[in-house]
Amino acid sequence: MSAFDIAFLIVYFSVLVSLGFYGTHRYVMAYLYRKHRKDIPHPLARFEELPRVTIQLPTFNEMYVVERLIDAVCKIRYPKDKLEIQVLDDSTDETVAIAERAVARKQDEGYDIVYLHRTNRQGFKAGALEEGLAKARGEYVAVFDADFVPRPDFLEQTVHFFTDEKVGMVQVRWEHLNRDYSLLTQAQSILLDGHFVIEHTARNRSGRFFNFNVTAGIWRRSTIGDAGGWHHDTLTEDLDLSYRAQCKGWNFVYINDSTAPAEVPVEMIAFKTQQHRWAKGSIQVAKKILPQLLRSRLPLKVKFEAFMHLTNNIAFMLMVALSLLMPMAAMLRIDRGWYQSFWLDIPMFAAATLSVMSFYMLAQKEARPTPLWRRLVFLPIVMSLGIGMCINNARAVVEALVNYRTGFARTPKYGVVSNKQGWRHVKYRFRVNWQPWLETAIGLYFTWAVFHAVAAQSWIAAPFLVLFGSGFLYVGLASIFQRNRWIARLFEGRPAPTPRTNP
């Protein structure tokens, strides 16, 4: 082997080893989940007299779902004289009128509900929550985003945990209203199930830190104040506050058996916007919180899990590097007869990919018991989507590392929960920038490598190349063409609508 070959292999395997480090952590999460799955939390007692609760509904330009949210929150079973509802609206469009009418209607029905409108958006969602909290009368504060439809028993399931004076926050699991709408919503739901069913349960029940998810949870008001209040110097104010509160000694409770349904994005660019915000915000919080946390006297297991949790998105930068190196590595092997070195790849890929596959298989099984064949069918789609998102999320990580500041880019929801509903007519649109074209180009790069591998009968390399190539092509092409009603059928799995004709 030449010096170039050796140097290339060193870089290639260094990336694989680093990915394997984060990949094997999935095994740890799965193990902790299985170990503690029966350790179901229960309240220490029940309130003899129910406390006053404030429910905050932060919204911004959510004309399609805001009325549904207000109606659902008002159906939560709780004494009206103990429940206050705040609609914290920063909207600049028709949402203002829709929300005001809905609030006025509920006020006439006897609900203690107020509409608070801001025009400056200072601090974005965190700023709205902060201003609302200053006017709130509740001892406990629940939060729901605009796309949620909380169940009537939400407070019955959560509020009694606060009989333990050490409990600062209670979070319930997200469920997905439009899980079966398309391949994209199916894949997103499985990815979220991994986070909520496996990771949250494993972290919370094993004595590690986990985070409030900015919605579908309820806080002790004094906990928010003790932790320093809502900060808006990161894009994930929920993650930031969660770690500050737990570092102060507050206990959190995660209820895996209680759910709050919500929409997942039906549009690829909307999904990418959401993932970009989450990835960037987590690295911002890591830079802000980790140095102090690692120097603290917290248990080693808490420190290690916090490090893995907050830095996990760095793996997307490694995925980008692997994506650029993998076709070249496959071609070098084919051209120079390095077939034996594939056996070195297998343990690395087992750590980096098989761990992820088994993790999401478990998540599907636990979230919605389904036949094995159905879980296997969606697994390649989930894997490909995760791979295809690596450029989007790696860009977010880089922006956080270099302190590139951006505003809070919300993820609009369209009230789409049925296959009979369309969404390409909606008002909120995203522009297609340079990124989908780069993703498509990398997908074509992998397509060339697949053909080359098949021609050389390199059957070991071909499946990995196909997995990566299909992920980039899916994410790139869906971003470019998903608004086209004819091409969208490839991504939604539904017949294209019949063209309208003028009479």
Q: What is the pLDDT of residues 94-133, one digit of tens each?
A: 999 999 999 999 999 999 999 999 988 888 899 999 999 9
Per-position DSSP letters for 396-461, written without gaps between them: HHHHHHTT--------------STT---TT-S------SHHHHHHHHHHHHHHHHHHHHHTT-TTH
The CA-atom distances, in angstroms, between 124 and each of 231, 293, 441, 487 are: 10, 26, 35, 35
Sheet with 167-176: list strands edge to edge. Answer: 113-117, 83-89, 53-59, 140-143, 217-220, 167-176, 251-262
* 14, 125, 314, 373 from 233: Cα distances, Å: 34, 12, 20, 45
Residue of 90, 145, 193, 345 marked active site = 90
Contact 308, 25 (CB under 8 A): yes
Q: What is the DSSP string of 148-173?
A: B---TTHHHHHGGGGGSTTEEEEEEE
How far is the C-alpha of 379 from the C-alpha of 237, rounded, in Å?
31
- Kindly report the number of other CB atoms within 10 A of residue 289's CB atom: 19
Q: Which amino acid is at 111?
A: Y
Q: d(Cα 37, Cα 179) in Å, to the nearest integer?
A: 24
For residue 175, give the CATH number of its domain. Answer: 3.90.550.10
Residue 284 lies in a domain: no
Does 375 share its domain with 242?
Answer: no
In this structure, how many other beta carbons lie within 10 angstroms of the beta carbon of residue 222? 13
**Domain end among 248, 267, 286:** 267
Average pLDDT across each block of 10 residues of the chain; the chain has 503 residues. List them in order: 75 83 90 95 96 97 94 96 96 94 96 94 91 96 96 97 97 93 90 95 97 95 96 94 97 96 91 94 97 95 96 94 81 57 57 78 85 79 92 96 85 78 70 89 91 76 84 92 62 42 33
> How far is the C-alpha of 346 from the C-alpha of 338, rounded, in Å?
14
pLDDT for res 40: 95
Kindly give, in sequence order, each residue whose CB lies less than 8 Å from that of residue 342, ignoring residues fewer than 6 positions away: 333, 460, 461
Residue 50, helix vs strand vs coil: coil
Instruction: Answer yes or no: do 15 and 42 share one domain.
Output: no
| Residue 333, number of CB atoms within 10 A of its CB | 20
* 267, 283, 304 - which closes a domain: 267
Residue 96 identity (one-letter amino acid):
V
H or E segment at 140? strand 140-143
Alpha-carbon separation of residue 474 from 87, 276, 279, 436, 477 (angstroms): 38, 17, 20, 10, 5
Looking at the structure, tell me whether residues 193 and 102 fall in a common domain.
Answer: yes
- Give the structural domain span for 225: 33-267
User: Are both 12 and 97 inside the same structural domain?
Assistant: no
Within this chain, do residues 118 and 177 fall inside the same structural domain, yes or no? yes
Domain count, the chain: 2
Mention every residue, 6+ apart, whose C-beta is less than 8 A from residue 222. none
Cα separation, 209 vs 206, whole angstroms: 9
Q: Please, what is the Cα angle at 118 between 112 and 124, to 5 degrees?
A: 105
Longest dimension (CA), the chain: 81
Instruction: Give residue 328's pLDDT.
Output: 77
Q: How far apart are CA 161 and CA 142, in angstroms?
A: 13
What pLDDT is attached to residue 503?
31
Domain boundary among 267, 295, 321: 267
Closest to 60 measured CA to CA, from 138, 136, 120: 120
pLDDT of residue 23: 84
Residue 34: CA count within 13 A, CB half-sphere:
9
| Cα–Cα distance, 409 to 403 (Å, whole number) | 17
Tell me which of 145, 193, 238, 240 is the catalytic residue: 238
Verify that 486 and 341 share a domain, yes or no: yes
DSSP percent split of the chain into helix, strand, coil, nearest 5? 55, 10, 35
Q: Is 90 a catalytic residue?
A: yes
Q: Please give the C-alpha separations between residue 111 and each of 98, 301, 315, in angstroms, as whole numbers.
A: 17, 46, 47
- Does residue 296 lie in a domain region? no
Locate all alpha helices (DSSP H) within 171-312, ordered by sequence: 183-193, 201-205, 221-226, 237-247, 268-295, 300-311
Residue 165 and residue 193 share a domain: yes
Let me know if residue 280 belongs to a domain: no
Q: 140 - beta bridge partners?
A: 53, 220
pLDDT for 495: 39
In a domain, 274, yes or no: no
**Cβ-contact 281, 196 below 8 angstroms:** no
Residue 189 belongs to some domain of the structure: yes
169 and 233 share one domain: yes
- Identify whether 190 is part of a domain: yes
244 and 334 inside one domain: no
Residue 27 inside a domain? The answer is no
Check: CB of residue 345 under 8 Å from CB of residue 465.
no
Residue 243 falls within a domain, yes or no? yes
CA distance 93 to 97: 8
Q: Answer yes or no: do 141 and 172 share one domain.
A: yes
Does 444 lie in the same domain as 397? yes
Are 334 and 457 within one domain? yes
Q: Decide if 467 contacts 380 (C-beta within 8 A).
A: yes
Q: Which residues pair with 58 in a beta bridge?
A: 88
Q: What local confidence, expressed as pLDDT, does residue 497 receive? A: 38
